[in-house]
Structure 1
Amino acid sequence: MMFREVVAQSVPVSDDVGMSDVLWSKLIGTVPAVLWVAFAATVYFTLRGTIVQRMVPRLTAVRALGVEVELAGELLDRAQDESTTTVTATARRTALGRLEHAADVLRGGKLLWVDDRPESNAPLVELFRTAGMHVDVTLSTEEATPLFRRRPYDIIVSDIDRDGDRQAGIKMLRLLEQYKIDVPVLIYTGRFDPERGVDRRIFAATTVPVELVHYVIDLMERVRLGSL
């Protein structure tokens, strides 16, 4: 009788020991997973600063690029509204594409704009400044002369007719020659007839905003290559 009681009492003890073994086995089995989680967390928090430092500038650059391209499109449209010419959607896209890829070429360029109606050119002036160019605006050859005599410009943009003088722009070309200033000149005007001839000092002439953008990029590419 006593033997049976001892046996009966020993059974629960055996069950407790078995349960403890199972519990420890499960705990031991979870250790590798816990270690992996801890390792991953350590790596993440250790490298998070580096990852953020590398990713944020790229994301910021993409956002900035999108804003710049969008702004350039708006300015180009405003310039087109000021012009009496028409431009195709393809020509607009092409000009914006060149602006996007010519950022390094235009940045730091120096441009002098001579026109007695600066309000008509304001969108393009802002466009080139947004691209990183330094743009000085003057209303006459008299105002422009002291500037181009003492400052090294990369490009001069000029109209032709000013204050009733239909040869004002051409006269400025002769003045540039007189002072031996070899800066390429772009003529941008509302009225230009190439059939009447193009002066030897004129790199190009246009009445179309997108074409002026192309000419400015063309000249700045030459400046960067040292071919001007």
Structure 2
Amino acid sequence: MSVAAAAQDGGWTAGLTAVSGLLGTLVWPATVLAVVLIFRRPLVQFVENLQNATVKAGGAEVTLTARAEAAVVAATVDKSGPGPTQPDDIERAIRSTRAATTALPASGLLGRVALWVDDKPDNNRHEREALAALGLGITVCTSSDQALSLLGTRTFDVVISDMSRPEGRRAGLDLLAAIRKTGNEVPYVVYAASASASDVADAKSRGAFGYTADPSTLLQLVAAAVGGRPS
């Protein structure tokens, strides 16, 4: 049965089962695109199932890199809003993720730890899944005060922060300033809903490693930030 037929005749569950069967015969990017374009929202369940299964694609075992790709694709779909996600956006996300992971050592980000500051952490769970698939440990907190407390007692390899929180519209940059005041030079990445050229330039001038609204670019920034620090 085709994926499309499964979606029509058996609903989402049967369709996802058909997609899982296709993993044995299709190359990975094509499979991801099929899932995204046909199922869109049930992709969340697809990614969760993928992380708990050994999958074959084109006769070769899918590695953690592929699991990171799937999570980045899910994040890209979520960020694109209610309209259809363009195949070019998905292909770009996959290419960008591979560029980030190719630059990592064989161990990936294993043994490295990030502090992720966001008052709505559920909005970024796919991005965290992508980084976790590459070995990154992640501690989540929801306020600048919590972040500063954690940074005072533990060592992190990178801090990822949103920009606007109930504590202020530019809470992300305010937290960066507070961290730097303590003498802590941990790499700092802002991951926000939008990222204008002026926002990016402003953040970098204040000592941020990077600023982005794009899931795959976030992966690249974190990989570069952590990869440049001694283990």
TM-score, normalised with respect to structure 1: 0.64
Partner of 1:173 in structure 2? 176
- The one-letter code matched in structure 2 to 1:92 is I
CA–CA distance in structure 1, aligned partners of residues 171 and 99 of structure 2: 34
Partner of 1:66 in structure 2? 62
Taking a change above 3 Å as real, the CA distance of residues 202 and 80 of structure 1, as seen in their structure-2 partners, is same
Is 1:119 aligned to residue 86 of structure 2? no
Stretches of structure 1 that go unaligned for 5 or more consecutive residues are 1-61
Shift in Å, 1:64: 9.4
User: Please, which of 198, 205, 212 is the counterpart of residue 206 of structure 1?
Assistant: 212
Partner of 1:75 in structure 2? 71
Aligned ranges for residues 37-186 of structure 1 at < 5 Å?
66-84=62-80, 87=89, 89-99=91-101, 102=104, 103-163=106-166, 165-186=168-189
Is 1:189 aligned to residue 192 of structure 2? yes
Shift in Å, 1:191: 2.1
Taking a change above 3 Å as real, the CA distance of residues 122 and 192 of structure 1, as seen in their structure-2 partners, is same
* Contact map agreement 1:105 1:220 (CA 8 A) in 2: no
* Contact map agreement 1:112 1:135 (CA 8 A) in 2: yes
DSSP-derived class of the 1:223 partner: coil
Moved over 6 A (4+): none
* Contact map agreement 1:149 1:179 (CA 8 A) in 2: no
* Contact map agreement 1:79 1:124 (CA 8 A) in 2: yes
DSSP-derived class of the 2:202 partner: coil
Larger of the two Rg values belongs to structure: 1
Indicate the structure with greater helix content: 1
CA–CA distance in structure 1, aligned partners of residues 186 and 167 of structure 2: 26
CA–CA distance in structure 1, aligned partners of residues 114 and 145 of structure 2: 17
Shift in Å, 1:104: 2.1
- The one-letter code matched in structure 2 to 1:123 is H
Shift in Å, 1:174: 1.8
Shift in Å, 1:132: 1.2
* Contact map agreement 2:99 2:220 (CA 8 A) in 1: no
CA–CA distance in structure 1, aligned partners of residues 100 and 220 of structure 2: 8
CA–CA distance in structure 1, aligned partners of residues 226 and 61 of structure 2: 20
- The one-letter code matched in structure 2 to 1:95 is T
- The one-letter code matched in structure 1 to 2:71 is L
* Contact map agreement 2:101 2:108 (CA 8 A) in 1: no
- The one-letter code matched in structure 2 to 1:216 is V
DSSP-derived class of the 2:135 partner: coil
- The one-letter code matched in structure 2 to 1:143 is Q
CA–CA distance in structure 2, aligned partners of residues 149 and 201 of structure 1: 19
Shift in Å, 1:150: 1.2
TM-score, normalised with respect to structure 2: 0.63
Partner of 2:222 in structure 1? 216
